[in-house]
Amino acid sequence: KNEVEQSPQNLTAQEGEFITINCSYSVGISALHWLQQHPGGGIVSLFMLSSGKKKHGRLIATINIQEKHSSLHITASHPRDSAVYICAALPYNTDKLIFGTGTRLQVFP
Amino acid sequence: SQTIHQWPATLVQPVGSPLSLECTVEGTSNPNLYWYRQAAGRGLQLLFYSVGIGQISSEVPQNLSASRPQDRQFILSSKKLLLSDSGFYLCAWSRGGLHTEAFFGQGTRLTVV
């Protein structure tokens, strides 16, 4: 079993829908990253969280440290949001991220 | 502002040939540097990380090596490529460890034929 699990693996949506991607982890962490990987492969860092909630434009990321769970929400989804979304957990006292296998999101017009 | 450059973007190499992928960071000093690999259908895996010039830690035994000849330069190499080395290679940096934000390069898609 992976230490970082994402769900769903694949997600399709109609433009305008509210999207939620979940990430659960089994180790104690000091931070969690949400990343976006475009079809060409390049990766963009969306959020780095250690507690609470962060918002950037239509993207919202939350983390519950006690429940070892984080969510990434996209409001008013758009076809340009289509990408693979990856969560990565940073265990305590280490500099080695543990990556989830990603959620492939496709938003149709 | 800080930027990270990784090249080449795509590479097709025959089995047994050498490899050199380069990553450079601009606009910061003494970054932590990382090489990751993403094999087809799998998540990202840390290959090497470096906290300073000449300091390399290897995470998994493999056919690859890494070097950091300058503060902001990180090179991934192989003397003889294997078919299993095919994949997507990403360079990343962070200021003070990954409890801070990480920045990723655009990646190199390597196909060994």
pLDDT in tens, A38-63: 887 778 889 999 999 999 999 999 99
pLDDT digits (tens, 9 = 90+) for B39-93: 776 778 889 999 999 999 988 778 899 999 999 999 999 999 999 999 999 999 9
Q: How confident is the model at residue A66 (pLDDT cuts 50, 70, 90)?
A: very high
**A residues 31-90 closer than 8 Å to B (CB):** 31, 33, 35, 40-45, 48, 50, 86, 88, 90
* Contact call for residues A36 and A48 (beta carbons, < 8 A): no
Question: Residue for token digits 């296998």?
Answer: A101
Measured torsion, CA atoms of residues B104, B109, B110, B113, in degrees rounded to the nearest 10: 170
Q: How confident is the model at residue B1 (pLDDT cuts 50, 70, 90)?
A: low
Contacts of B102 in chain A (CB under 8 A): 33, 45, 48, 97
Q: CA-to-CA distance for A88 and A70, rounded, in angstroms?
A: 10
Nearest-Cα distance to chain A for B16, in Å, is 25
C-alpha B74: how far from chain center: 7
Contacts of A97 in chain B (CB under 8 A): 44, 46, 98, 102
Nearest-CA neighbor of B38 among B94, B98, B101, B91?
B91
Residue B32's φ and ψ, nearest 5 degrees, are: -80, 135
Q: How confident is the model at residue B38 (pLDDT cuts 50, 70, 90)?
A: confident
CA atoms within 13 A on the CB side of B67: 8
